[in-house]
A and B are shown apart, each in its own frame.
Chain A
Amino acid sequence: MKKIIFALAMMLLSSSGWAASEQYTNAMKGLLQKMGDAKSPEAYQAAANGFERIANNEKSEWLPAYYASFCYIMQAMSIQDKDKVDGIVDHAETLLETASTIQSNDEILCLQSLCKSARINVNPMARGMKYGPQAAELIAKAKTMNPNNPRVYYLEGQSKFYTPEAFGGGKDKAKVLFEKAVETYAAFKPSNELMPVWGAEQAKEMLEACNK
């Protein structure tokens, strides 16, 4: 009896100890699923809210804030009312700031660069001159940190693709980058199941668009 009780107690105790990280992993996985399925700005908002709730409790994890920010950027990119973009991106940037105080890394820099792109989208003619170089600088930083991050090349390709040739962009330059991106995506192994993997499909699609 003693043994049984002891074993039971141990099991419960240890499971409650495990529970924290298991709860974290499960919650994150569920939200990543939700994020992957999201199509509308509302769906991205719901996923972002979930990530933010986790971020508020897990002060030593950078991923919840990172993903919350990613959802907000996606929302900013897809929202109809362009007046709202700056407010959303401001919030996304605050989250990334928080994330980088926990751990500064190339993935965060990629999103910081993407924030600038979201701002350019509001009015490319007027804002390109200001935010374009900032976006490029952040990506360059990410690349020096980790030249094997495929998202670096994907994002670089994106910005080249949408920049007119006269301003140093164009399909030809973008194509080289997307090829490099597809290649690095194939070689890329995330260190665990929660790490960012996004962009592989899109990079292939963009490469096809360049070949058209």
Chain B
Amino acid sequence: MPFIFSMKKIFYLLLLMVNTSFAQTTIKGKITDTKGEALIGVNIAVKNSYDGATSNATGEFSFETSEKDSVIITATYIGYVPQEKKVLLNAKNVIVNFSIKEKINDLKAVVISAGSFEASDEKKGTVLKALDIVTTAGSNGDSYGALKTLPGAQQTNDREGLFVRGGTGAETQTFIDGTWVRNAFSASIPDLGARGRFSPFIFKGTVFSTGGYSALYGQALSSAVILETIDLPDRSSANLNLSSVGLGGSFQQLAKNKNSSYGIGYNYTNLTPYFWLIKQNVQYNTAPTVHQVDVNYRIKTSKTGIFKFYGYLNHTNIDIQRENVTSLDYENENKRYQDQFGIKNKNVYANFSYKEFFKKDWKINVGACISSNHDDIVLKILENGVVTNDSQFKYREDLGIKNGNVLASGKIVLEKSLNNLNTIRFGVEHIYNQEKTLVKYQPLVSIIDYTPIQLNENLSAVFAESDIYITNDIAGKIGVRGEYSSLLNKFNIAPRISAAYKLNRRGQISVAYGLFYQKPELSYLFQNTQLQYMRADHYIVNYQYQPKDRLFRLEAYYKNYTSLIKTSVPGALNGIANTGKGYARGIELFYRDKKSIKGIDFWISYSWLDTKRNYLNYLKQVQPDFAATHTANFVFKKFWVKQMFGINGTYTFSTGRPYINYNTSNPNDVNANADLFMRDKTIAYHNLSISANYIKTIQKAFTVFVISINNPFGFKQIYGYNYAAKDLNQNGQLYSKAIIPAARQFIFLGMFMSFGIDRTQEAIDNNL
């Protein structure tokens, strides 16, 4: 019987068990975010059971559970911090509410956009995609050309460099994978502008900073162009190109294990046939002729690490002849003299970079760069094809200049990720730079070698920067950079600070402030090294509104320049001192729209610039000769996917630039009338560029045909005027000649073929 009794006990126990498993509790509640907004789709679950529910449109949920006593309820949702709550199931209905917090993540967090335009495919909210740089009409495969369609950039196409917000071309510097590029522009002829040396195809990301940039970069007073090279290619390929200006080929080999790749390419540019067909405004003794060999090697050093090498050898040769301005109005037309300018340039560049993550939340970036550049320049004044013996031009009629520079630099950046995207970055940089120049006067029996000048510079920098994210809506960046230049024997400390606040889902406001220092240009340092850093203070405020497929930006800034270089300063060594100053302020607009007109992608940019400076030989503080008050661009792109045909266009307008009229106010004249200085302005600048491309697979080659025409309507473009050094006519007026492009129009025809060596796709197809 006792046994039976115990059996009975078990029986009741079993019944009880059955009973309990059918006792249900209803759990109800509401899910909101930290602002109290209802969240739909949140997963609510009882831990260690299948029971749970999904919140509805009002954030509410309700479900039954057979669990008993104390349970843990979890609320999880993509993009939010998961939350757990311990709940006692002691009643029929239990209410559990959750208020969950949005994770700070780079997809949602506000991006500081003050002073910066970014082209990238990987990052969100960028103004441009990597491909936009290439497909912008008028850029002709030059990254800087595409950047000139953005607000802040000037259309100073007659000079080398990118002129930004009242800054000179020398105040914009280029950085590749973190390191400074000494010779970013190719060898060029005075007054004809210069192209960027680097093909836009080797970069996956471009940041064009028009001010207020990061403490990681220095020695750029106005602007920084920060480029990031591509990683391993997706497949092996071979490329061929043939165009109206040259031909080239390259191949890229991806290792079988996809861990490394190497590539080599050769490009030959020669404009002789083109100039033979289309007449130029200057006479070319040697049309631009360029040989370039490119090499690259990239290897994944681990799952997260990559080492990259990119380098090239470049040889450029150009020789031109054009009218000598001083002799232009010289009594006898037959005696009209010619200026010859020839340049042979050898340029070698090598960039190494290494990136790796370690100890979970640390990242290291190492960059190194070696480059060397040699210019062999010939400057002659010719009379009937031979060096003149007219004493008017004594010591200027036959000069040879040899310029050279060597650079070796290294940079290490350590980055520590804290929670919620907060990051601390710090590092060191060292740049060794040797600059040489030698001038020879050649026509004499014994050539005069002027004393060669050599400068050796060791620039060291330390920097630290911190990204601070308070929520997804508020972020800041605080940085500081310290530099020491051995050449100037001076330190500088430059704080930088910026912040952004998200006003709503699409709109945000950001601000930036910073100090920027730069050494004076070489031509002045060669004459005087007892100089200071030039300095610019930037203040920027930016509003950005970004609905789907559209982007609107409005930016206002103020810049104050001090310690600019002045020439002809009494008492200073060679007349050069840091007594110049100036300011720039402006408002800029950018609007890009891919949606309003179906299938057409366009952008409009407008810059209003108010800038004055008193520098170099200026007689007073005045709008400089490289700055235009109003600049506007209209860029459009249209691609017909079905026909694989596209048209791109760019129209650019800018108001006239001031120029020095040597007849009314000659800065070389001690009695010059300062009131009339730079009063004259050139005509407004108009330019239109149209390009069309057609994509076709020929055999196995992916082929792109391109035709582009610059200035098809032949708008007259004048950048300024050159004046005669002397009045040989003796009528009291110096002769002047407009600075104009080498030709009104430029036409480009090209064919680019790409063969994928990788046959995996083919193999798959054959296996069907």
Contact = CB atoms under 8 A, between A and B. Distances in A.
A110 to B, nearest CB: 15
B7 A2 contact: yes
A12 B78 contact: no
B644 A166 contact: yes
A5 interface: yes
A7 to B, nearest CB: 11
A54 B641 contact: no
Nearest to B43: A49
Given A12-B14, A86-B107, A126-B129, A46 B121 contact: no
Interface in A40-59: 42, 45-46, 48-50, 52-54, 56-57
Interface string B685-703: 0000000000111000010
Contacts of B767: 143
Interface string B398-442: 000000000000000000000000000000000000000000000
B702 to A, nearest CB: 7
Contacts of A166: 644, 695-697, 702
B121 A45 contact: no
B124 interface: yes
Nearest to B57: A42
Contacts of A49: 41, 43, 45, 52-54
Contacts of B761: 136, 168
B548 interface: yes
Interface stretch (A98-106, A127-135, A199-207): A127-135
A48 B76 CA distance: 12
Contact of A53 (B7, B40, B50): B50
Given A49-B52, A53-B45, A82-B548, A165 B697 contact: yes
B731 interface: no
A57 B52 CA distance: 12
Contacts, number: 101
Nearest to B258: A137
B18 interface: yes
Interface string B749-768: 00000000000110011011
A83 interface: yes
Given A5-B7, A166-B702, A167-B702, A91 B43 contact: no
A88 B234 CA distance: 24
B491 interface: no
A27 interface: yes
Given A23-B50, A53-B52, A166-B695, A129 B10 contact: no
A8 B18 CA distance: 12
B641 A164 contact: yes
Nearest to B641: A164
Interface string B635-653: 0000101101000000000
The interface residues of chain A, by DSSP majority, are classed as: helix
Nearest to B601: A125
Contacts of B78: 87-88, 91
B768 A176 contact: yes
B764 A136 contact: yes
A88 B8 CA distance: 55
B502 to A, nearest CB: 13
A8 B14 contact: yes
B597 interface: no
B131 A126 contact: yes
Contact of A54 (B7, B50, B79): B50
Contacts of A2: 4, 7
Interface in A156-200: 156, 164-168, 173, 176-177, 180
A45 B107 CA distance: 20
B670 interface: no
B235 A57 contact: no
Nearest to B131: A126
Contacts of A5: 7-8, 10-11
Contacts of A156: 764
B52 to A, nearest CB: 5
Nearest to A27: B50
B277 interface: no
Given A27-B50, A56-B45, A177-B768, A126 B548 contact: no
Nearest to B8: A5
Contacts of A165: 644, 697
A12 B21 CA distance: 12
Interface string B122-135: 00100001110000
Contacts of B765: 173
Interface residues of A, number: 47
B644 A52 contact: no
Contacts of B386: none
B17 interface: yes
A174 to B, nearest CB: 12
B124 A83 contact: yes
A46 B41 contact: yes
Contacts of A83: 107, 124, 548
A121 to B, nearest CB: 14
B49 interface: yes
Contacts of B52: 49-50, 53
A176 B8 CA distance: 70
A18 to B, nearest CB: 14
A156 B720 CA distance: 60
Contacts of A52: 43, 45, 76
Given A87-B79, A165-B697, A168-B697, A57 B48 contact: yes
Nearest to A156: B764
A9 interface: yes
A129 B233 CA distance: 10
A143 B764 contact: yes
A66 B256 CA distance: 30
Contacts of B639: 125
Interface string B16-58: 0110000000000000000000001101010111111110010
A42 B639 CA distance: 35
Interface in B695-717: 695-697, 702
Contacts of B695: 166
B54 to A, nearest CB: 4
A176 B764 CA distance: 13
Contacts of A42: 40-41, 57
A114 to B, nearest CB: 17
Interface string B310-327: 000000000000000000
A130 B129 contact: no
A180 B10 contact: no
A143 B76 CA distance: 35
A105 B765 CA distance: 22
A57 B50 contact: yes
A49 B42 CA distance: 8
Interface string B101-126: 00001010000000000000100100
A125 B48 CA distance: 45
Contacts of A164: 641-642, 644
Nearest to B505: A83
A166 B641 CA distance: 10
B54 A46 contact: yes
Contacts of A87: 78-79, 105, 107
Contacts of B50: 23, 27, 53-54, 57
Contacts of A82: 548
Contacts of B8: 5
B52, B639, B642, B702 pick with most chain A CB within 10 angstroms: B52
A9 to B, nearest CB: 6
Contact of A1 (B7, B47, B57, B130): B7
Contacts of B76: 52
Nearest to B132: A126
A9 B14 contact: yes
Across the A-B interface, the 3 shortest Cβ-Cβ residue pairs: A49-B43, A45-B41, A46-B54
Given A5-B11, A49-B45, 8 more contacts: A42-B40, A45-B54, A53-B45, A53-B49, A56-B47, A130-B234, A133-B235, A164-B641
6 contacts: A12-B18, A52-B45, A53-B49, A83-B107, A140-B760, A166-B695
